[in-house]
Structure 1
Amino acid sequence: MANKTKKKELTFELYDELKQLDMDILHEQHGWELPQYIVENLKHHPRPYQNEAIRYFHYTQTSEAFKFRKPRQLMFNMATGSGKTDLMAGLILYLFKEKGYQNFLFTVNTNGVLSKTVDNLTDTQSTKFLFDSHLEIDGERLSINQISGKFPDFPNKNDINIKFVSIQTLTNELFTQAENVMSLKDYQKAKLVILADEAHHYSASTRRKNKVELKKASWEKSLLSLLHTRADNLLLEFTATLDFDDETIYEKYRDKIIYRYTLDSYIKDRYSKNVRRIQTGNSNEENMLSTVLLSEYRRKFALETFGIDLKPVILFKSHKIDASHEANRLFNEMIDSLNVDYLQHFLHSQTRNLTDEQSHTLQLAYQYYLKQDDLSIIVRDIKRGFSPARILNANDTDSSSKGLLETGQYQALNSLESPSNLYRVVFAVAKLTEGWDVLNLYDIVRISSLGKTNDKKDAKATNSEAQLIGRGARYNPFSLGKKISYQRRFDDDNEKASLLLETLHYHTLNEPQYLKNLMSSLDKMNLATGTDGKNPPIDIRLKTSFKKTQIYKMGKLYYNETKEIPDSHYVNLRAYGIDISKIATVPYFKSSYEASYRSTETRALKTSPLKGIDSRYFKKGVSRSTFFRFNNLKKYLPNLKSMNDFWGEEWLDLKNLILSVETEKETVVEDFSAVEKMKIVDRFLDILAGKIKSGYRKEKGTNRFVGYPISEYLADYRKRVPNYDTAKQSDSFIEQKVSNIPFGQYDFFTYQSAIINKNEEHLVDTIANHVDELREEYGEVFLIRMDENMLKGTDRVERLKLHQFEENPREINLAGFQPDFILLLQNQEFYLQIFLEPKGKQLMEKDRWKEEILTYINEHQEDLVFEDEVDGILIKGLKFYNRENSKVTIDQLAEIALDKPSFSGNIELNLF
């Protein structure tokens, strides 16, 4: 008999050492308990294993055993659904209080998880917010801020700043310079904690066993590069899924695992639902109806037996989008055509072929319905509860569907437990395998594709489905006897309740090979891992023909110089670009909102003055904010004399300040409590603080233009096409989605290709229609796509920006910007440089200040001064370009370049 190979026993040196320290009564940290500031500032009371994980982390930071070997890269290997984000929240508080960390960077590989975590960690209005609504340590209020650009150079001492960025974007930003993003040099300024979620995706280079791979711009390299920018940086990784059967993965993490909490422990400790599989020979349609009947029976059982208003959710899981859409259509038809006769026939046919051993739970459901005197009531309830308005289709790769964020579908998917959320059914393919936090998912139905088998692909698919099952197994903490439990409570004394209220059922057709693969996946929970090799950087090269031209060799690109702003400028809030009247209306929504995700409805809102707000509210809000303490405020308001001065006419003008609140139309603002009014005032002050910070800048633009040699600044470069989350396939997303477009056919375009969006491509094609006419006037015509990736070094990026000019604009924004395109025209009389900025319509108003800079250039030609005292240099700017106003912009180009109202023929393209 052949000997079976014994599976290698895994050892994790760090984790084993920490377990030993925890048991050692002589250990100097023995008996350490989770500090109250963590317990009191978290929404959920930490579970024992979460408490233990933080305690083990504390040992690595304080124990004498780690005095000379501080581990900086640590892995929390914890089961799906065990509350890794809760653990992150606790670690953030610990590191802020005990170690003085204020900057945290959260990264993950999908935008869905990213958006969810933003809600978890920063959105106080979200039901998923994991901190207490009033964070406080040692009597001082804390502020948790989402950072969209760079971390502040001078953060308030009670600020926790979290930057959320996908690993794709992070990698692109670190290894390709871009406007208003953080480079490795920027990250050197202050110590940082990196929170890397779904970390099983970040080992592609390690798996290849090739050290050369780590030199490439991989996701793994991004994290390690950030970690090593400072000696006090930390990299904390989190995942449920590590393939320790892969020797390279095991060797990478064997000394970095700080805590393990496996799925079997999670289930054994009763923190999850039980998981049961229902196999059937039914068709997909019959399987759908049987699951609907089971789901409705769960709801009725909970209500009739325990008085619990439970809303069980069904997920129909397909492998292909077309199959999912087809299943959605069949489901709608089935519910629409359901009647008493068919239901009765279905129940009898099912019970004839179903034994209790096959599915005890379905038997319970079918017997319940057969005992009903009036099945018409059941049919009516099913038609209402499973109507199209109660269905979410998360197959966002369909370009005809609205984007998740723009239709409210994302919020609906992540608030399915909410009493105001009426959705009962979700159709999906792959969107929900990571990052989905629904608790009241009770049935997952696999939509079968019979006759299409591929063992290798099916094995991979079942790994993904096993992960989805793990997510669905999260326990639903319903209230029973006015008590909420976060652990199962019916296992021993009520089998029926346990089956219906504490069990996730996975419904699948009886396909032998598929079931074999699924069982293997469930046994191992060896879930599918991603790779970062699918999105390689693309070489963007200057054309050789352009490099031979005089413009390339001798020409320059002109941008206005900046000068330091004196403190004497900041004499009132208007000098910061702050219009109090525009920020004095504060949004405050008390209720959730539910609609069909295809609905174009919006909430009916109203704006009401907030009465009963006097100076006491503002002064109390200011006293609770570290930003508005005089010593800190003085840093940003150098001309402020005192806090009494701050209340006065030039600053806040408290006597004349009237706050308004934007609410749902049905909200009775007059019934707001003092606590609610205080929250609104706090929100107003947070907005004001942000405006003051962003308005206090050190430099502003001047009318003096400096030329930078084209041959020194334009170069070949590499850039990745962003790997966008397919959830955003709305019209506006498609317009802005970028791809690498070849431009070899256009000899006027300086690069061989450009990574641009549809709007930008449309601009290039439109100019191509008129380039011959431009050449009749100018011997040389070239269009340059300005991409900051071509500019090596932060100083070069800053030089090639336009800044607001000395005259006070309508809205102050001193950050500067790089217009996307420059059109260069040269003849014997003029060297004409024209800035062009394509702008999607959804960004038109937000970026209006940029268009004002371009307009200012045209209207103040006589005021512009050039470093090069050479006649014939002209700088111009065009209005924003998009398909709606393309004629206006191109006509403006004709007027500037040819001194005529429009181009001859004025051919317009419509490529959308």
Structure 2
Amino acid sequence: MAQERLYDWLETEMRTLSYSMNPHEVPEYVKTNLKDDLRPYQEEAFRRFQFMQDNTLATGVSDAGFQRKHLLFNMATGSGKTMVMASLMLYLFKEFNYQNFIFLVNTDAIIKKTQENMLNSQSKKYLFDPQGLVIDGQSIVIQSVESFPTVKDKNTLYLKLTTIQKVHGELTRPKENGISLDSLSDEDIVILGDEAHHFNASTKKEQAQEKSWEQTIANMLYLRPNNKLLEFSATINMDDKNMAEKYSNKIIYKYDLGEFMNDGYSKNVLRLQSSENDEEKMKDALLLSQYRKLVARSHGIKAFKPIIMFKSSKIKISEQKQADFNTIIEDLTVESLVKYLKKRQSSVAENGTLAKVFAFFLNQDLDAIIREIQEDFESRNILNANEKNMLNVENAVLLNTLENLNNPIRVIFAVAKLNEGWDVLNLYDIVRISEGAGVTRNATDSEAQLVGRGARYFPYEYQGKQSYKRRFDKENTDLRILETLHYHTINEKGYLANLEKSMNAVNLISARDETVTVYATKLKQSFKKTRVYQEGHFFVNERRATTAEDYASLDKFTIPKEWETDYIGTTFETNYQGQVIQDEEIQREWEYLQVDQRFFKKALQRNPFYRFDNLKTYLPLLKSKDELIESEDYFKGVALRVSLPKGQTLADLTAMEKLELVDRFLAYCADKIKRNFKKEIGLKTFHPLAIRDTLKDYEVVVAHSETGNKQTTQVIQSTTMKGKDWFVYTDAIMNGLELGLVNLMGSFIHRLEEKYAQVYLIRNDEKATRYKLTEFGGPRGYMPDFILYLENETFVYQIFIEPKGDFLEKQDSWKQDLLYALNGDDIELIGEDHHVRLIGLKFYNSNNKREFVQELSDKVNDGQLLDGRIDIF
């Protein structure tokens, strides 16, 4: 058995210099065939799978004691595991010719959800490009099947959606139109296991069942050497000895709920801990939900419909609470509501959300408010998920479309049916009904899981833009309420202790509602009196729209005139576990393919990207498709250099095989064109911005997390900067890494003050400025975290500094490139002579202090080390 966990080993291997010089990238055909962009962590999961499947690296994988046949992705609830599955299906189909996929789940409801994800191109939940899949110019189809056909269409992926219970029954008792071990033995299959923790159990009965299910899966997996099992789960407990032994050499990627929440892809989670009875908790949730709707409306956010869920322990209690809720709605009057608001206002924390909500309603036209509440929450807009008719799969779809505009539901009453397989994004309030509720660890584990599902982010549209990440984390704005899930629970010591343990176990970051703090900082008056503030300037680079001349030929898209490809890929022999037992490459020879224009015309017709109306978007000077073939600016003169197995020549290829090579080249070109086409680009010409018009006082809102692994959160704190005139703000509001940089600068700032008359470190917080650079030749904007301003009689230096955690360096490498490009001789500052210089430094982190200080010293202190006391380690 491997001595270390697979995901730890991969983390090390993929950070080596040799690998980082030539890392795997998500293929463009995967990106273009998905409806939405892969998020950075999904791309990382994909790259890790590429690493494991790369035959040139297979020997190293085997030597380290790992295998490639059975892998598991441990990813948080709501993080888009199914999107990763979809991308891997395309990759395995294109690169390894897999066509048979078995999607294995635990419930019929998840099957219905997956059908929407994978097969229904009309669904909002569909993951692929609804216009159709295209790979190498060929239309690709995903077909749902009960059994895999013996005669296959080469452009079809065959997908069997089933439960572990059903497939176990099929294989132990074969029947017509189903699968059997005999039928599966003819072709390679990929098994995709969703919510894989269901295949593992704790009770004796469950363990016996698990053993039987595991054997069924193993029987399928080991039928053929190249079969694969890819499991996906949010809840693999590696602290459990048996689980660790089973999966430590299989978990390829770990991205837990804490990381997911910390990266901004979820709602914030706040707990409203109340000693009040269920009726008052219901009223509080009702008012809070309607407050969210009215806040959204006041900011021009249309059709915002927040959902409340009332969670009970028993069906009878749930039904009674639904009746109680209906009575609350029916009995609302202005007098009763005013009385309730004033009573509750005196009993809640002054800095809490409910205090704000109650104050808001006391200043509204309550007659109009009540009319709208009674309309929104009438009985037909309330769904009880415990009713017998909720067991059918159609109602499972209804529950998964609550965010649709034509779905009027505002309230869900439930017991346990929605703990899994429920993908609703606009759930904002979960109310724990106290009557009959359990306080044990098992009960709170279930609650933590439900809250984790409810924390999924709702991507509403604001100011014409739709975001899939939180936008107002640090802002003191009422819009934060649209990015916050409230869990209404009881204030009981033993229960809260168990709830905290349960939330910590799944790394769910949460805080009590009243712990939210607003930190404020101001520009120091001493700085505002300086000439730097009153007369000084920052410099920001200009942007311009691209022109037709920018894309006048294919070389503008970095498409070479000579392109190389393999006709037949390198082959490796593997054993039954997928480990390499012979890694000798087939000898190959190169030959140039002379491409007849007819092949080009046919290949262009086969690829929808090359429709003339579409091409004009990217190649505005193109006059006709004939010009595309006949002009030196485009495809005329292109050479295709083909690698063939030794002894084989291009003359041995059929016309169709040659056409497929041209298809592949055109697909490559289409990818390059789409990737390099920009509507607007940043220039190396900079114009001045008055510092006094750029910097301002600002506030940052911080929730002090009480559950979740603190190591995954960037704890924001406020530190007074009194007596440090070189820092322009009264307080430094920042995370630990950023504060570490400020303290490091403070340790040698006196050395800079000996050399420069004016020395200021300026925090470039997005709440304080709108100072943003634009990547050269690209559209992306970037706000460096700090600007070090140095001025003497001869020069003004503006040094851009960015603290960056190790785990972000790769995905933000373009920002590092931009910083270094600032040091070039081709930077033009409008209105300035040569006495102003912009300087970009390497990213700062806690592991490179010496290198960082040395680079800064080289730039602004004639190479003399500013601080010789920097620790090496």
Q: TM-score, structure 1 length as denominator?
A: 0.53
The match for 2:41 among 46, 49, 56 is 49
The reply on whether 1:356 has 2:344 as its aligned counterpart is no
Deviation at 1:446, TM superposition (A): 0.7
The reply on whether 1:102 has 2:99 as its aligned counterpart is yes
Q: Distance in 1 between matches of 2:108 and 2:148?
A: 21
The reply on whether 1:204 has 2:201 as its aligned counterpart is yes
The reply on whether 1:388 has 2:369 as its aligned counterpart is no
Deviation at 1:178, TM superposition (A): 3.0
The aligned residue for residue 304 of structure 1 is 298
The answer to whether the 8 Å contact 1:354/1:363 transfers is yes
The aligned residue for residue 447 of structure 2 is 465
The answer to whether the 8 Å contact 2:103/2:162 transfers is yes
The reply on whether 1:506 has 2:487 as its aligned counterpart is yes
Q: How does 1:363-374 map to 2 (within 5 A)?
A: 363-372=355-364, 374=365
Q: Distance in 2 between matches of 1:460 and 1:624?
A: 57
Deviation at 1:179, TM superposition (A): 3.5
The aligned residue for residue 480 of structure 1 is 462
The SS at the match of 2:159 is strand
Give, as a single letter, the amino acid of the residue that structure 2 aligns with 1:520. K
Alpha-carbon spacing, 1:77–1:209, altered in 2? closer, same or farther (3 Å): farther
Deviation at 1:503, TM superposition (A): 0.8
The SS at the match of 2:431 is strand
Deviation at 1:321, TM superposition (A): 1.1
Alpha-carbon spacing, 1:99–1:29, altered in 2? closer, same or farther (3 Å): farther
The aligned residue for residue 734 of structure 2 is none
Q: Percent identity?
A: 44
Q: Distance in 1 between matches of 2:211 and 2:21?
A: 41
The answer to whether the 8 Å contact 1:29/1:59 transfers is no
CA deviations on 1:490-532 (whole Å, 9 max, x unpaired) are: 011234322x1111100012233222221110011299xxxxx
The aligned residue for residue 282 of structure 1 is 276
The SS at the match of 1:26 is helix
The match for 1:334 among 318, 325, 328 is 328
The reply on whether 1:522 has 2:527 as its aligned counterpart is no
Deviation at 1:244, TM superposition (A): 1.7
Alpha-carbon spacing, 1:73–1:436, altered in 2? closer, same or farther (3 Å): same
Alpha-carbon spacing, 1:524–1:11, altered in 2? closer, same or farther (3 Å): farther
Deviation at 1:208, TM superposition (A): 7.4
Give, as a single letter, the amino acid of the residue that structure 1 aligns with 2:79. S
CA deviations on 1:760-786 (whole Å, 9 max, x unpaired) are: xxxxxxxxxxxxxxxxxxxxxxxxxxx
Deviation at 1:123, TM superposition (A): 1.1
CA deviations on 1:703-737 (whole Å, 9 max, x unpaired) are: xxxxxxxxxxxxxxxxxxxxxxxxxxxxxxxxxxx
The aligned residue for residue 23 of structure 1 is 15
Alpha-carbon spacing, 1:292–1:209, altered in 2? closer, same or farther (3 Å): closer
Deviation at 1:193, TM superposition (A): 0.6
The reply on whether 1:60 has 2:41 as its aligned counterpart is no
Q: Distance in 2 between matches of 1:113 and 1:402?
A: 14
Deviation at 1:409, TM superposition (A): 2.6
The reply on whether 1:293 has 2:281 as its aligned counterpart is no
Deviation at 1:341, TM superposition (A): 1.6
Q: Distance in 2 between matches of 1:255 and 1:128?
A: 33
Q: How does 1:582-593 map to 2 (within 5 A)?
A: none
The match for 2:413 among 427, 431, 441 is 427
Say which is worse superposed, 469-478 or 337-346, in terms of deviation: 337-346
CA deviations on 1:614-662 (whole Å, 9 max, x unpaired) are: xxxxxx9xx9899xxxxxxxxxxxxxxxxxxxxxxxxxxxxxxxxxxxx
Q: How does 1:647-726 map to 2 (within 5 A)?
A: none
The aligned residue for residue 707 of structure 1 is none
Deviation at 1:35, TM superposition (A): 0.8
Alpha-carbon spacing, 1:250–1:153, altered in 2? closer, same or farther (3 Å): same
The answer to whether the 8 Å contact 1:273/1:502 transfers is yes
Deviation at 1:29, TM superposition (A): 8.2
The reply on whether 1:377 has 2:365 as its aligned counterpart is no
Deviation at 1:377, TM superposition (A): 0.6
The aligned residue for residue 247 of structure 2 is 253
Q: How does 1:563-574 map to 2 (within 5 A)?
A: none
CA deviations on 1:540-569 (whole Å, 9 max, x unpaired) are: xxxxxxxxxxxxxxxxxxxxxxxxxxxxxx
CA deviations on 1:420-457 (whole Å, 9 max, x unpaired) are: 2111111111111112111111110111125x65x5xx
The aligned residue for residue 404 of structure 1 is 392
The answer to whether the 8 Å contact 1:243/1:526 transfers is no
Alpha-carbon spacing, 1:28–1:484, altered in 2? closer, same or farther (3 Å): closer
CA deviations on 1:106-135 (whole Å, 9 max, x unpaired) are: 111122112101111111121111001111
- Which runs of at least 4 in structure 1 moved beyond 4 Å after TM superposition? 207-210, 623-626
Give, as a single letter, the amino acid of the residue that structure 2 aligns with 1:505. H
The SS at the match of 1:220 is helix
The answer to whether the 8 Å contact 1:209/1:248 transfers is no
Q: Distance in 1 between matches of 2:21 and 2:435?
A: 57
Q: Distance in 1 between matches of 2:319 and 2:607?
A: 51
The SS at the match of 1:33 is coil
Say which is worse superposed, 438-447 or 417-426, in terms of deviation: 417-426
The aligned residue for residue 138 of structure 1 is 136
CA deviations on 1:19-56 (whole Å, 9 max, x unpaired) are: 22321231398332111111111111000110011111
CA deviations on 1:885-904 (whole Å, 9 max, x unpaired) are: xxxxxxxxxxxxxxxxxxxx
Q: Distance in 2 between matches of 1:370 and 1:624?
A: 65
Alpha-carbon spacing, 1:520–1:140, altered in 2? closer, same or farther (3 Å): same
Deviation at 1:65, TM superposition (A): 3.0
Q: Distance in 1 between matches of 2:56 and 2:205?
A: 35
Give, as a single letter, the amino acid of the residue that structure 1 aligns with 2:468. Y
The SS at the match of 1:353 is coil
Q: Distance in 1 between matches of 2:435 and 2:20?
A: 60
The aligned residue for residue 72 of structure 1 is 69
Deviation at 1:217, TM superposition (A): 6.1
Q: Distance in 2 between matches of 1:187 and 1:526?
A: 40
CA deviations on 1:474-495 (whole Å, 9 max, x unpaired) are: 1111112211111111011234
The match for 2:403 among 417, 420, 428 is 417
The aligned residue for residue 114 of structure 1 is 111
Give, as a single letter, the amino acid of the residue that structure 2 aligns with 1:269. D
Give, as a single letter, the amino acid of the residue that structure 1 aligns with 2:118. L
Q: Distance in 2 between matches of 1:253 and 1:20?
A: 19
Q: Distance in 1 between matches of 2:309 and 2:225?
A: 46
Q: Distance in 2 between matches of 1:108 and 1:624?
A: 37
Q: How many residues get paired? A: 506
Q: How does 1:759-838 map to 2 (within 5 A)?
A: none
Deviation at 1:242, TM superposition (A): 0.9
Gaps of 5+ in 1: 1-9, 528-619, 627-912
Q: Distance in 2 between matches of 1:89 and 1:442?
A: 29
The answer to whether the 8 Å contact 1:175/1:217 transfers is no
The aligned residue for residue 262 of structure 2 is 268
The SS at the match of 1:445 is strand
CA deviations on 1:302-327 (whole Å, 9 max, x unpaired) are: 11034343111111111111111111
Q: Distance in 2 between matches of 1:209 and 1:428?
A: 27
The SS at the match of 2:11 is helix
Q: Distance in 1 between matches of 2:422 and 2:55?
A: 37
CA deviations on 1:162-208 (whole Å, 9 max, x unpaired) are: 10111111112222233332111111121111010111121239x97
Q: Distance in 2 between matches of 1:217 and 1:202?
A: 9
The SS at the match of 1:251 is helix
Deviation at 1:12, TM superposition (A): 4.8
Alpha-carbon spacing, 1:507–1:26, altered in 2? closer, same or farther (3 Å): same
Alpha-carbon spacing, 1:340–1:200, altered in 2? closer, same or farther (3 Å): same
The SS at the match of 1:142 is strand
Alpha-carbon spacing, 1:380–1:160, altered in 2? closer, same or farther (3 Å): same
Q: TM-score, structure 2 length as denominator?
A: 0.56
The answer to whether the 8 Å contact 1:392/1:409 transfers is no
Alpha-carbon spacing, 1:209–1:52, altered in 2? closer, same or farther (3 Å): farther
Q: Distance in 2 between matches of 1:106 and 1:99?
A: 18
Gaps of 5+ in 2: 509-601, 609-873
